[in-house]
Amino acid sequence: MRKAVSRIWTAFAILAAGALAAPASAELIGDAQRGATLFERQCKACHQIGEGAINRVGPQLNRIFGRRAATGADFTYSKSMARMGADGLTWTLETLDVYIENPKALVSGTRMNYRGMADDQSRSDLLAFLRTLSDNPQNIPEAEPTARMTDHDLDPAILSIKGDPEYGEYLSSECVTCHQPDGTDQGIPAITMWPEEDFVIAMHAYKRKFRPHPVMQMMASRLSDEEIAALAAYFATLGQ
C-alpha cells in the first residue's frame, strides 16, 4: 500500500514539474501539391475541403488547424470523438499526424473507417495541404517549416509484450473505480473486451500526452510497459 501511494505521489510530482520528456522531433518538408493528390485518393470519399465544402460521411476540413475536436458546425460526431473534444483535444500538426497515422491511437471509438497512413512523408504532404486551407497558416506555431513528430510510432517490442491477465486484474482496482467492469457506458467509455493492441496503443498515447485527459495521463505515466500489457490482457478477457 505504501509503495502504491508513493508511486502516485511520484507521478504527481513528475507531472507538476513538467518532467515528462516530449519525443524528439524530426523535420520533414511537406509537399502540399502531392498532399492534394493524396487527399483526392484517400480522403475525398468521406471529407470535403476548399470552397463550397460541406459535411459528408465525415466533417468538412476547412480551417481544421486550431479547431477543438468535435466542434465542426452541423456535424454529428461519435460519442468517443465528442469526449476527446471535451477533454481538450485540439487539432494541431502533431495531433493530426498521430490521428492520420492510426486513428484509434488517438480516439479509440472513432467512426473514421481508415486504417491509417504509415508513411511519414505522405502524412507530411497531406498535412501541408490541409494547412493551406486553414486561416493564416503562417501563424500556426508548428507551420515553419512543415515539421512533425515522427517518432510517435510505438516500439514493436512494447506491442509484443505478453501481458499477464492475473497481474492485470490485481492492477485494475483503480481502473474500475471509473470504468465499469461489466462493459456498460455510464458517461465513461467502456474498456472491456478491447483488442489488447488497441488498449496498449491508447495507454501509451496518454503516457506520451497525445491524448489530453489529465487524469488518464497521470495514471498512464506511472505504469510500466509490462503493467500496461497486463491490464490490456485482463480487460480483453472481461465479458468473454
Nearest one of 201, 188, 207 to 229, comparing CA atoms: 201
End-to-end CA distance of the chain: 31
Decide: pTM greater than 0.85.
Answer: no
Domains parsed from the chain with CATH numbers: 26-148 (1.10.760.10), 154-237 (1.10.760.10)
Grid cell 476548399 in the structure block, residue: 50
pLDDT (tens, 9 = 90+) of the chain, 240 residues, equals 444 434 433 333 333 333 333 333 345 778 889 999 999 999 999 999 999 999 999 999 999 988 999 999 999 999 999 999 999 999 988 899 999 999 988 998 899 988 899 999 999 999 989 988 887 565 555 444 444 444 467 888 999 999 999 999 999 998 988 888 887 877 778 888 888 998 998 899 899 888 888 889 999 999 999 999 999 999 998 866
> For residue 148, what is the enclosing H or E element?
strand 147-148
Residue 165 grid cell:
491477465
In three-state secondary structure terms, 52 is coil
Q: How far is CA 226 from CA 92, 117, 171, in A?
A: 31, 28, 11
